[in-house]
């Protein structure tokens, strides 16, 4: 259990943008060199990358906070500050990233791609950007924007085609060890399996699928009892379930009751999981007494519900080939492994008022700064006209222009916000 971690909560903070520089060109024999302050560097991003060689979130067990470095301030001679270094978080394929507050899916890391979880802040402009024929010595620059901060849940959902389900000690781990090269722990006591195991199963030379063995499910698992509740998520993606039942009743349970109880738990966890195609593996057939009618009664009950039943003995390697080929044939008709669509919607920026902002005049330029304005600007695409109009509308609603007019703002004056500079007209 100590080596397998499948759900963690982490906090991430991207780097802030660097401050723009206020500097002037100074060189012998060059008079009035003019402003040459460089821009601040971009803050580092928090990037998540799916790693096919990882199988657990153990790396996040003790370290839960990750912070990228800030961008460096700009310098003279039009030198931009160095960008902050990105932080790359490697996770197993199949990890689902959820927003901690809402539980919404931000990203499903099922492919070996990269995703920017928190974006670094843009660097502030140096005073070189503010030079005009009428403003030749601007003595101001822009601060960098803050990087994004998030609290997220990383939840591993195994990428397996087929999942083994059943009560503890029915032979799931033995079956996995027989049909694949996986080596799960096998013993004659319940809950030998404490974490999911994966194995690749070959049905012929050019046909294979991934099989997942999860800890045994008990009654009440869908409500949090036993180990099953924590690991039922690992068969969420499985296209097919192999329901292993101890038809010999070696644990003193009735096979039919076991079959119904497991399906009830699947339905309690997720109705879609309960309706997933199943092949029922009647295991430990070699332990049944001769002429016993228990197997016939079990097969009759299950087949009436529309499920195929195959008689096997995992320990004695009986009926295994038939089970593997039946699963491979069924998979050909089923859709690919589920990839969850993102449903996260970024919350609206909570706007303040004009009184929460710092507004000052530098020559003929009006500079506006403030925390809530930084958060708003970070979500504005200045290359898009509609985004710029959205920013203008929010400034008017917050009473920013009204306050500036009371301070002396006039039509034609230059207003500077982050990377946007425009002439004001009421």
Domain locations in the chain as residue ranges: 1-158, 162-331, 349-426
Domain range 1-158, CATH architecture:
Distorted Sandwich (2.70)
* Structure token digits, residue 151: 């609290």
Do 1-158 and 349-426 fold alike per CATH?
Answer: no
pLDDT digit string (tens) for the chain, length 426 residues: 456 788 999 999 999 999 999 998 887 776 677 889 999 999 999 999 999 888 889 899 889 999 999 999 999 888 999 999 999 999 999 999 999 999 999 999 998 789 999 999 999 989 888 887 777 888 888 888 899 999 999 999 888 999 999 888 888 889 999 998 867 665 554 555 567 888 899 998 788 999 988 876 665 545 554 444 566 788 888 999 999 999 998 888 899 999 999 998 888 888 888 899 999 999 999 998 877 788 999 999 999 999 999 999 999 999 999 999 999 999 999 998 888 899 988 888 788 888 999 998 887 789 898 888 888 888 888 888 888 888 889 899 999 999 999 999 988 888 988 778 888 887
For the domain 349-426, what is the CATH code?
3.30.300.350
CATH H-level superfamily of 162-331: P-loop containing nucleotide triphosphate hydrolases (3.40.50.300)
Q: What is the per-residue DSSP string for 304-327?
A: HTT--EEE-BTTTTBSHHHHHHHH
Q: What is the per-residue DSSP string for 152-200?
A: EEEEE----SEEEE-STTSSHHHHHHHHSS------SSTT---S-EEEE
Cα separation, 127 vs 234, in Å, equals 55
Tokens 């100590």 identify what position? 2
Q: How far is CA 326 from CA 172, 274, 350, 412, in A?
A: 17, 20, 56, 77
Q: How far is CA 23 from CA 29, 69, 206, 416, 421, in A?
A: 18, 24, 67, 19, 20
Report helix, strand or coil for 221.
helix
CA angle at residue 354 from 139 to 424, to 5 degrees?
60
The predicted model scores a pTM of: 0.80
Question: What is the greatest pairwise CA distance in the chain?
Answer: 110
Q: What is the per-residue DSSP string for 228-289?
A: HHHHGGGGSS-SEEEEEEETT-TTS--HHHHHHHHHHHHHHH-HHHHTS-EEEEEE-GGGSP
Chain centroid, CA 20 distance in Å:
34
As to burial, measured by CB atoms within 10 angstroms (0-12 exposed, 13-18 middle, 19+ buried), residue 344 is middle
Phi, psi of 302 (to 5 degrees): -70, -45
């Amino acid at each position: 259990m100590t080596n397998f971690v499948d759900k963690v909560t982490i906090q991430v903070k991207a780097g802030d943008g660097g401050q723009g520089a206020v500097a002037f060109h100074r060189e012998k024999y060059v008079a009035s060199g003019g402003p040459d302050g460089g821009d601040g560097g971009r803050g580092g991003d928090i990037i998540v990358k799916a790693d096919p060689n990882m199988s657990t979130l153990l790396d996040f067990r003790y370290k839960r906070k990750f912070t990228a470095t800030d961008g460096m301030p700009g310098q003279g001679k039009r030198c931009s500050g160095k960008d902050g270094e990105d932080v790359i978080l490697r996770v197993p394929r199949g990890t689902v990233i959820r927003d901690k507050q809402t539980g919404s899916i931000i990203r499903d890391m099922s492919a070996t791609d990269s995703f920017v979880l928190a974006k670094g802040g843009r660097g502030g402009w140096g005073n070189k950007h503010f030079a005009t024929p009428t403003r030749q010595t601007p003595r101001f620059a822009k601060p960098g924007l803050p990087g994004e901060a998030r609290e997220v849940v990383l939840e591993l959902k195994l990428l397996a085609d087929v999942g083994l389900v059943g009560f503890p000690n029915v032979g799931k781990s033995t079956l996995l060890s027989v049909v694949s090269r996986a080596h799960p722990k096998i013993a004659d006591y319940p809950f030998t399996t404490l974490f999911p195991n994966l194995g690749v199963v070959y049905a012929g030379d050019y046909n294979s699928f991934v099989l997942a063995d999860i800890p045994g499910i008990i009654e009440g698992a869908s409500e949090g009892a036993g180990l099953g509740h924590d690991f039922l998520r690992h068969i969420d993606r499985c296209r097919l379930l192999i329901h292993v039942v101890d038809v010999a009743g070696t644990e003193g349970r009735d096979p039919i009751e076991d079959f119904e109880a497991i399906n009830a738990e699947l339905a309690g966890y997720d109705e879609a999981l309960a309706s997933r195609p199943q092949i029922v593996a009647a295991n430990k057939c070699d332990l049944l007494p001769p002429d016993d009618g228990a197997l016939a009664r079990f097969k009759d009950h299950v087949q009436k519900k529309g499920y195929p039943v195959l008689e096997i003995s995992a320990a004695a390697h009986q009926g295994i080939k038939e089970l593997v080929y039946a699963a491979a044939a069924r998979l050909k008709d089923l859709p690919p492994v589920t990839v969850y669509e993102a449903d996260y919607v970024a919350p609206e920026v909570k706007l303040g008022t004009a009184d929460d902002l710092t507004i000052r005049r530098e020559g003929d330029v009006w500079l506006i700064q403030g925390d809530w304005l930084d958060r708003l600007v970070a979500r504005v695409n200045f290359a898009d006209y509609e985004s710029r109009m959205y920013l203008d509308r929010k400034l008017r609603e917050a009473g920013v222009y009204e306050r500036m007019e009371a301070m002396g703002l006039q039509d034609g004056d230059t207003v500077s916000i982050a990377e946007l500079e425009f002439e004001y007209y009421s």
